[in-house]
Chain A
Amino acid sequence: MSRGSISLAAILWLVIAFLVLYPLSILLTESFKIAETGGWGIGNFLEFFQDAYYLKTFGNTLFLSTLVLLTTTVFGVPLAYILARYRHWGKTMFTALILLPIVLPAFAGVFAFIIFFGKYGTVNLLLMEIGLVEKPINFIYGLHGLVFIQSLHMLPFIVLGLSAGFTNIDPSFEEAAEVEGASSFRRFFTVTLPLCTPSYMAGAVLVFLWPFTDWLTPMILGQVDFLPSVAYINIAYHFTDMHRKYMGIVSVTVAAIVCITLFLLARRWVEKRKYTGLSKGTTSEGRVIEPGAWVKSGAYAYMVFIAILVLLIPVVLGLAAFSRTWVFEAFPTNWTLENFRLILLESPGLIKNSFLFSGIALIFGIAFGLPVAYLIVRTRVWGKDALDFVITLMLAFPGIAIGVSYLLAFWKDIPLARYWIIMPLALFARRLPYFLRMAHSSYLQLDPSLEEASEVSGAGKIRTFFSISLPLLLKGVLVGVVMFFIMAFQEISTAVFLYKGGWETLPIGIYLNWHRGMEFGIAAAMAFLMIVITFILLLIISRIGGGVLKAAWGAGEK
């Protein structure tokens, strides 16, 4: 362990201490502050768990989490199985479509489904037009709508984990069960599914935590009795009422503690039983089945159904974006570019801010993430695992908890929040794991002897990094860069606590326009714009992943 890597580790720890540990510790200490007396104690927490309202909120959130996890599981297991195991046409396209919600902003889905499934939304109007119903059906406002929207948003996490699991299981496990005489149904439930539980759990925990994080969807659907929404309302609207403010802080803290605890438990559980690595010699494709005609058409119908639900988001927002006064009509009739004109001419600052803040956050992310990846994979510096641990935890941390803690930490003693740099800094801290994970995993795949060969040839460490490591890491790093940018670009939960006039980003603009009432044309146009930008970035990822650098790596590289 060289002196260089020790000082590097020290610098990186300082950054983490300042941007993560310090604000979070302030959040925690603030939650122990008694509003009335100015003293300290666990009074806030006692009150939280004794107050019927907050207790109900907590219970509601747990209930919602359970429902969302159940729904995503019930819908996700067959979907993952179809995607991983069946040989079918359009596999790549369907996979891409079904995974799309990961990169779509959560609020885009809410807005789209309100327009489409709302009281006087497209579906209800069509139903009434053909006379099937007299009064509009409440598709969306209420717990069922919340479950639907959050489930669709989180479905990819279940599908992604499980289909990777289904693909990576050594086919001989199932073949052994087949030889023993187990029916395909029995085989699936006694061998395949249990072997996939680790990859399922990894996604399931993120799904379960989403209702503890997502404040926006319940608020827009008028269902505020959930932990994050209550926290948001208490802090953002009632900051003058000290008591409510502190109950808000406690709510945030409770949500954060739940998230971190469950995340850690799931992680430990997953690490204890990793079955997929048990045996060697799996084919890259896994076990692929040619299903019968009936099963196959059923599978298609099912995939198309989910794909349509996902596609509704960009399509409906697109329709809304290009129309004005789309009210009480099944489909818009008044086409216009007015919304875009308003965005581009009257508030171009939003777009500029979004790119500027995300861009600066990205530069921080790269400058921080690459050295961290290097430290974790290539050195034995003391405390590197803890560094990795803290950064990974940010994946589970609710955005509003980071927003609130930044507000508390960087207002009085260190008045950073008075300058716009707080925005990119907060985005950086919140989205850090996205870049680091890509950099980390591509570093792991980089054989150390490639770097050693360079050192032996006479190159120093830094030269080796730039002429050998970086070019070979480039693919992974670029994918990480784009993912980070997409995630920073759509960030709202943290930013909404920190923005001041003139610092609004696109997501905040969408939220404000929606909030102001009938400006959803503009909100939809902004959301549509964001989706388009995200699509372009995704296209870049797939190009990088697929073609551009292929020549250098040859056909052997996947």
Chain B
Amino acid sequence: MAFIEIQNLFKTFKDVVAINHIHLEIKQGEMLTLLGPSGCGKTTTLRCIAGLETPEEGDIVIDSKSMFSQGFVQPSKRGIGMVFQNYAVWPHMKVYNNIVYGLKLQKLSRQKIQEKAQKVLEMVGLVGLENRYPSQLSGGQQQRVALARALVGNPKVLLLDEPLSNLDAKLREELRFEIKSLVRRMGITSVYVTHDQAEAMVISDRIAVMNSGNVVQLGTAQEIYKKPANKFVADFIGTMNFIAGEVVDVLTDTNNVYVKTPFSEKMGCTTPNSTATIGQEVYASIRPEDVEVLTKPPEATENVFKGKIVHKAYLGNFLFFFVNINETMIRVQVPHHLPQKEGQELYVYLNPKKCMILS
């Protein structure tokens, strides 16, 4: 049974559809990430869960309680903690007062408040900074205050709206793991919004990829990377080569299809969801790391193409080639000991099992 259920949620801003009838179920204790480019509706969805936006249609059920359809439940009554993109740490209150603000509203005893505050301060590593004003803290510390404030009241649900996007890269990477282990330890159901695919893959149990108001794919990081539902997901998560073409033959029993591309009249591919029809316009898609590079022409010729290295880039643990095959460029990731230089010719093998068709 889902802990948070998003049912047929629909919301517009002026004439723009922000969320287009989406459904999502989030399990108890799960960390789900809403991932997508800006304007895809991920933040609006999060704000609907928080009650900071009201959808025009649909409902959200948290812990078997409806948030909209049976009377609007105020944000303050939803039992949520939220971390905002710009932290939203109140500048006129000291760290301690920021953290205990919600507890005071719950009319807890002074001792109880102190206990809880102490615990959360230790958890996020802010002990000793209780009496500072936010302006005397670094960005990372302010983020910890925001996190502590969201966690201190033991919320049923934790909402995080791009909480790391204002931090520098190094700190961002550190805090990803910290947030993940903290939230997992506390077992809070949480929804995380980000546009950073690496962040989403590190932090979440499942990822919902969103685009223009729709959830286009829901799954674990691995599922989304290995079996993207469409071209958008494949493009957004990681790097993908797309070779435009047209389906010329479908072998239904093996999920194999043949596609006419600029590379060949009949290029072997697989279809992840066996829905291809002859004549369909598709993209033969393969990840750079799945492309095999050969320096000599192999014996088998299926899906082997001759190309020319146009650019070569050294990226530390591997090399990146931009290879021109019949005036179409594909990116290839190769071990860095390969001696080829720019301008040289080579052969690439696009393994049909790893070359999927997407649209």
Residues of B with C-beta under 8 A to A96: none
Q: Does A240 contact B (CB under 8 A)?
A: no
**List of A residues within 8 angstroms of B101 by Cβ:** 454, 457, 459, 467
**What is the CA–CA distance of A467 and B90 in the complex, to the nearest angstrom?**
10
Residue pair A452, B75 in contact (C-beta under 8 Å) = yes
B106 at interface, CB cutoff 8 A: yes
Give the interface segment out of A313-321, A397-405, A518-526, A549-557: A549-557
- Closest Cβ neighbor of A1 among chain B residues: B54
CB B185 to nearest CB in A, in angstroms, measures 22
Q: Are A456 and B135 in contact (CB under 8 A)?
A: no
Given A452-B52, A551-B133, also A459-B76 (CB < 8 A): yes
| B window 81-137: CB within 8 A of A | 81-82, 84-86, 88-92, 101-102, 105-106, 133-136
**Chain B positions within 8 Å of A455 at CB level:** 51-52, 74-76
Residues on B with beta carbons closer than 8 Å to the beta carbon of A453: 82, 84, 88-90, 146, 149
Question: Within 8 Å of chain B (Cβ to Cβ): is A292?
Answer: no
Q: A468 in the interface, Cβ–Cβ < 8 Å? A: yes
> Which B residue's beta carbon lies closest to that of A474?
B92
B80 within 8 A of A: yes
Give the distance in Å from the alpha carbon of A458 to the alpha carbon of B73 in the complex. Answer: 12
In the complex, what residues of A have CB within 8 A of residue B133's CB? 551-552, 554
The answer to whether A472 and B76 touch across the interface, beta carbons within 8 angstroms, is: no
CB distance from A282 to the nearest CB of B (A): 21
B153 interfacial by beta-carbon distance below 8 Å: yes
- Also in contact, A556 and B135, with CB within 8 A (given A449-B85, A453-B90, A453-B149): yes
Quick one: closest A residue to B146, CB to CB? Answer: A453
Instruction: Tell me whether B105 and A457 are in contact (CB under 8 A).
Output: yes
**A458-B102, A556-B135 known; A452 vs B153 contact (CB < 8 Å):** no
Distance, CA A459 to CA B76, complexed state (A)? 6
Q: Which residue of B lies closest to A457 (CB)?
A: B102
Do the beta carbons of B105 and A552 come within 8 Å of each other?
Answer: no
Cα distance, A293 to B89, chains bound together (Å): 49
Most buried by A among B77, B88, B133, B159: B88
Contact B88 A452 (CB under 8 A): yes
* Interface hits, A414-469 → B, CB 8 Å: 447, 449-450, 452-460, 463, 467-468
Interface size class of chain A, counting residues whose CB lies under 8 Å from the partner chain: 20 to 34
Q: Are B86 and A457 in touch, CB under 8 angstroms?
A: no
Confirm or deny: A471 has a beta carbon within 8 angstroms of a beta carbon on chain B.
Answer: yes
Q: How far is the CB of B62 from chain A (nearest CB, A)?
A: 13
Given the known inter-chain contacts A459-B76, A460-B76, please indicate yes or no for A472 contacting B84, CB distance below 8 A: no
Question: Which residues on B sit within 8 Å (CB–CB) of A449?
Answer: 84-86, 88
Complex: how many Å from CA A419 to CA B88? 48
Interface centre among A453, A455, A552 (most CB of B within 10 A): A453
Chain B residues with CB under 8 A of A459: 76, 101-102, 105
B50 beta carbon closer than 8 Å to chain A: yes
Let me know if B136 and A457 touch, CB within 8 A.
Answer: no
Whole-angstrom distance between the alpha carbons of A458 and B74 in the complex?
9
How far, in whole Å, are A323 and B78 apart by their CA atoms in the complex?
71
Instruction: Give every chain B residue within 8 A of A463 (Cβ-Cβ).
Output: 105
Most chain A CB inside 10 Å of its own CB: which residue of B86, B92, B134, B135: B92
Which A residues lie within 8 Å of B146 (CB)? 453
Nearest chain A CB to B46's CB is how many angstroms away? Answer: 11
Residues of A within 8 A of B159 (CB): 456
Cα–Cα distance between A125 and B51 once the two chains are bound (Å): 76
Secondary structure of the B contact surface, majority rule? mixed
Query: Within 8 Å CB of A456, what residues of B?
Result: 50, 52, 75-76, 78, 80-82, 150, 159
Closest chain A residue to B78 by CB distance?
A456
In the complex with contacts A452-B84, A552-B91, A552-B92, A457-B135 CB distance below 8 A: no
CB distance from B308 to the nearest CB of A (A): 41
Size bracket of the B interface: 20 to 34
- Complex contacts, A452 vs chain B, CB 8 Å: 50, 52, 75, 82, 84, 88
Nearest-Cβ distance from residue B337 to partner chain A, whole angstroms: 44
**B135 touches which of A454, A471, A472, A557 (Cβ 8 Å):** A557
Given contacts A554-B133, A555-B135, A556-B135, contact A458 B153 (CB under 8 A): yes
A458 to B100, CA, bound (A): 11
A458 in complex: contacting residue of B76, B91, B135, CB < 8 Å: B76
A420 to chain B, nearest CB (A): 39
Please, how many angstroms separate the alpha-carbon atoms of A555 and B146 in the complex?
21
Q: How far is the CA of A411 from the CA of B102 in the complex (A)?
A: 53
For A550, the closest partner residue in chain B by CB is: B135
Tell me the minimal C-beta distance from A556 to chain B in angstroms.
6
Contact of A472 among B85, B91, B150 (CB under 8 A): B91
Instruction: Give the distance to chain B from A375, nearest Cβ to Cβ, in Å.
Output: 18
Name the residue among A454, A455, A457, A553 with the largest chain B CB count within 10 angstroms.
A457
Contacts of B76 in A (CB 8 A): 455-460
> Which A residue sits closest to B83, measured CB to CB?
A453
Residues of B within 8 A of A471 (CB): 92
| Bound form: Cα–Cα A455–B101 in Å | 11
What chain A residues lie within 8 Å of B74 (beta carbons)? 455, 460
Most B CB within 10 A of own CB, among A455, A556, A557: A455
Q: Which residues of the partner chain B approach A553 to less than 8 Å between Cβ atoms?
A: 91-92, 135
Q: How far is the CB of B232 from chain A (nearest CB, A)?
A: 29
Within 8 A of A (CB), among B44-89: 50-52, 74-78, 80-82, 84-86, 88-89
Interchain CA distance A454-B85 in the complex, whole Å: 15
Instruction: List chain A residues, Cβ under 8 A from B105.
Output: 457-459, 463
Docked complex Cα distance between A471 and B133 (Å) = 15
A458 & B82 in contact (Cβ 8 Å cutoff): no
Closest to B77 in A: A458
The interface centre, meaning the residue of A452, A456, A463, A471 with most chain B CB atoms within 10 A of its CB, is A456
Quick one: given A447-B88, A450-B88, A552-B92, are A458 and B106 in contact (CB under 8 Å)? yes
Task: Enumerate chain A residues within 8 angstroms of B153, measured Cβ to Cβ.
Answer: 457-458
Taken together as a complex, chains A and B put the C-alpha atoms of A467 and B88 apart, in Å, by 14
Of all chain A residues, the one with the shortest Cβ separation from B135 is A554
Nearest Cβ on chain A to B125's Cβ, whole angstroms: 21
Q: Which residues of A contact B136 (CB under 8 A)?
A: 554
Query: Which residues does chain A contribute within 8 Å of B78, judged by CB atoms?
Result: 456
CB contacts under 8 Å to B, within A528-558, are 551-557
- Residue on A with the closest CB to B91? A553
Hey, which chain A residues are within 8 Å of B90, CB to CB? 450, 453-454, 468, 472
B273 to chain A, nearest CB (A): 40
What separation, in Å, do the CA atoms of A284 and B77 have in the docked complex? 42
Residue of B nearest to A554 (CB): B135
**Closest A-chain residue to B72, C-beta based?**
A2
Q: How would residues 357 to 396 of chain A score, 1 for a CB under 8 Å from any chain B CB and 0 otherwise?
A: 0000000000000000000000000000000000000000
A557–B51 CA distance with the chains assembled, in angstroms: 31
Once the chains are docked, how many angstroms separate the CA of A452 from the CA of B146? 13
Q: Given A454-B101, A555-B135, decide whether A472 and B149 contact each other with a Cβ distance below 8 A.
A: no
Residues 234-280 of B at the A interface (beta carbon under 8 Å): none
Give chain A residues whose Cβ lies under 8 Å from the Cβ of B149: 453, 457
- Beyond contacts A447-B88, A452-B84: 10 other A-B pairs, Cβ-Cβ < 8 A, are A450-B88, A453-B89, A453-B90, A455-B51, A455-B52, A456-B76, A456-B81, A553-B92, A554-B134, A557-B135
Q: Could you show 14 A-B contacts with beta carbons less than 8 Å apart?
A: A449-B88, A453-B146, A453-B149, A455-B52, A455-B75, A456-B50, A456-B52, A457-B76, A457-B153, A458-B102, A458-B105, A460-B76, A553-B135, A556-B135
Give the B-binding residues of A (Cβ under 8 A).
447, 449-450, 452-460, 463, 467-468, 471-472, 551-557
Q: Ordered nearest first, which 6 A-B pairs have the shortest CB separation?
A: A554-B135, A457-B102, A449-B88, A453-B88, A449-B84, A455-B75
